Amino acid sequence: MLETIDKEKKILNSKIPIAVKVSPDIEDQEIHKICEVLLNNNIEVIIISNSSDSSRETLNNIQKHQKGGLSGKPIENKSTKLINKFYKILKGRVKIIGVGGVDSGRGAYEKFLAGANYIQLYTGMVFRGPNIVNMIKKELKEILVKDGVKNYTEIIGKKG
C-alpha cells in the first residue's frame, strides 16, 4: 500500500507528508522491518503509538476487561520505550510523533528525550480538559529553563 501511495505521490508531484501509525504491541523483531518499509517508500512521519491490546491484567479498575484499546497512563512507558527503539534506527530520517499517556510537561519531556519530534495526545484531554496543551507548554518550559535548554529541539533523542 505504501509503495502505491509513494508512486501516486510522484505522479501527482504531491508534497503531502504521509504518516504511518503503529501499535505499541509490536514485537522487537518487527521494528527493523517497519523502518525499512518506511525508508524505502519515502514515508515522512511515524506516529508511535496507537492504543494497546495487552497489559490489561495489571489494571485495578473493575472495567478492565471492557472492549477497546487501552490508552493513557497504562501505555505511557510502553510507547516511550518504543519511540526510543525507532529513534535509534531512524536517527531523524523519519519524524516521530510521540503519543501515549502524555498529560504533563514531564510526560512530553520524556517523549522528546526518547526521540519524538512532536507530541500528540487524546486521553490526557479527557482528564485535564481542553486547556491541557497550555498547561503542558508551561510545565515543559519550566523543566527546560531549569535544565538550561533554550529550545525543545535540543533534547530530541538525548535519552541515549
Ligand X SMILES: Cc1cc2nc3c(=O)[nH]c(=O)nc-3n(C[C@H](O)[C@H](O)[C@H](O)COP(=O)(O)O)c2cc1C
Binding of residue 102 to ligand X (CB under 6 A)? yes
- Cβ proximity to ligand X: between 45 and 72 the closer is 72
How many other CB atoms are there within 10 angstroms of residue 74's CB atom?
Answer: 20
Q: For the packed helices 132-146 and 105-114, what is the interaxial angle rounded to 10 degrees?
A: 60
Piece of the chain touching ligand X by CB under 6 A; list 35-43, 69-77, 88-96, 151-159 = 69-77
The one among 25, 80, 96, 101 contacting ligand X by CB under 6 A: 101
How many other CB atoms are there within 10 angstroms of residue 99's CB atom?
Answer: 26
Binding of residue 105 to ligand X (CB under 6 A)? no
Binding of residue 157 to ligand X (CB under 6 A)? no
The strand order across the sheet containing 19-22 reads 19-22, 45-48, 95-99, 118-120
Q: How far is the CB of 159 from ligand X (least distance, A)?
A: 19
The one among 22, 43, 46, 71 contacting ligand X by CB under 6 A: 71
C-alpha cell at 77: 512507558
Q: How far is the CB of 74 from ligand X (least distance, A)?
A: 9
Query: What DSSP assignment string belongs to 116-149?
Result: -SEEE-SHHHHHH-TTHHHHHHHHHHHHHHHTT-
90 in Cβ contact with 96 (< 8 Å): yes
The one among 19, 91, 122, 138 contacting ligand X by CB under 6 A: 122
C-alpha cell at 114: 526518547
Binding of residue 123 to ligand X (CB under 6 A)? yes
The one among 51, 80, 84, 117 contacting ligand X by CB under 6 A: 51
Residues lying near ligand X in the complex (CB under 6 A) are found at 21, 50-51, 71-72, 75, 99-102, 121-124
